[in-house]
Amino acid sequence: MRLLIMGPQGVGKGTQAKLIAEHYGIPHISTGDIFRYNMKNNTPLGQEAKSYTDKGQLVPDELTNKIVKDRLAMDDAKNGWILDGYPRNAAQVEALDKMLEELGTPLDKVVALDADRDILMKRIAKRAAEEGRADDNAEAIAQRLKTYDEETAPLLDTYKSRGCLVPIDGEGDIEDISKTIFDALD
């Protein structure tokens, strides 16, 4: 099974992606983890990404696309994966479509989690307190949610028109949300 998991910050994508990966025996591929792996291991792609992040810049789409394609082509992803944190914009959707075609691995479904903004803000504040994440302050959260609304949320319509969108209410108990996801995918 080849899946995307999408949704705003704090909706539980990472938590659910790990559970989905375990349930289906597929790797959970987080773009953040891919970047960290490549930079830590000083791969050519990691060196290139680091040249941007060291300047406080976002890694450009072209390089992000290369890093994602490289990861999806690895042996453990041959029988499926769940991709978390990508695509984030329309250009990345096009790039993903092209790489999946080249790899001969079509996308099965897009799990789209959503929750009320007040709940998202509370979850992120809790995460910031528990994990000490400096990037989870009110101003940064508001900016990330705004960016999601402007750039990523519209992508859901693309996947809906393709008939592969699985909208899921991201409010409630983790186990209940997982069960809803599994019921929708099975």
Query: Does a structural domain hold residue 31?
Result: yes
Do 141 and 119 form a contact (C-beta atoms < 8 A)?
A: no
Give a yes or no: residue 69 inside a domain. Answer: yes
The CATH number that applies at residue 110 is: 3.40.50.300
The amino acid that residue 178 corresponds to is S
Amino acid, res. 79: N
Provide the pLDDT confidence category of residue 8 given band limits of 50, 70 and 90: very high
CA distances from residue 73 to 104, 157, 176 in whole angstroms, order as listed: 10, 27, 32
Among 68, 162, 164, 182, CA closest to 108: 164
**Among 43-47, 80-84, 97-101, 140-144, which stretch is predicted with the lowest mean pLDDT?**
140-144
Check residues 125 and 8 and name the one with the higher pLDDT: 8
Please name the helix (run of DSSP H) or strand (run of DSSP E) that holds residue 101, with its range, or none: helix 90-103
Please, which residues have CB within 8 angstroms of residue 132's CB and are 6 or more apart in sequence?
Answer: none
Q: Is residue 186 part of a domain?
A: no
Dump pLDDT digits (tens) for 16-38: 999 999 999 999 999 888 988 99
pLDDT on residue 134? 65
Predicted local distance difference test score (pLDDT) of residue 132: 75
Looking at the domain assignment, is residue 147 inside a domain? yes
Task: Confirm whether 83 is domain-assigned.
Answer: yes
Domain range for 153: 2-181
Structure tokens that stand for 68 in this block:
């994602």
Q: Kindly give the pairing relationship between strand 28-30 and strand 165-169.
A: unpaired
pLDDT at 145: 86
Whether residue 93 lies inside any domain: the answer is yes
pLDDT at residue 62 in the model: 93
pLDDT at 183: 97
Phi, psi for residue 144 in degrees, rounded to 5: -65, -40
- pLDDT per residue over 51-80, tens digit each? 988 887 878 999 999 999 999 999 999 999
Q: 56, 44 in Cβ contact below 8 A? A: no
pLDDT score, position 135: 65
* 56 falls within a domain: yes
DSSP string, 111-163: EEEE--HHHHHHHHHHHHHHHT-TT-SHHHHHHHHHHIIIIITTHHHHHHHTT
Q: Which of 33-42, 87-96, 99-108 has the lowest mean pLDDT?
A: 33-42
Rounded mean pLDDT of 108-118? 95
Catalytic residues: 13, 88, 127, 133, 144
Return d(Cα 95, Cα 100) in angstroms, integer: 9
Domain count, the chain: 1
pLDDT digits (tens, 9 = 90+) for 114-157: 999 889 888 888 887 887 766 667 787 888 888 899 999 999 99
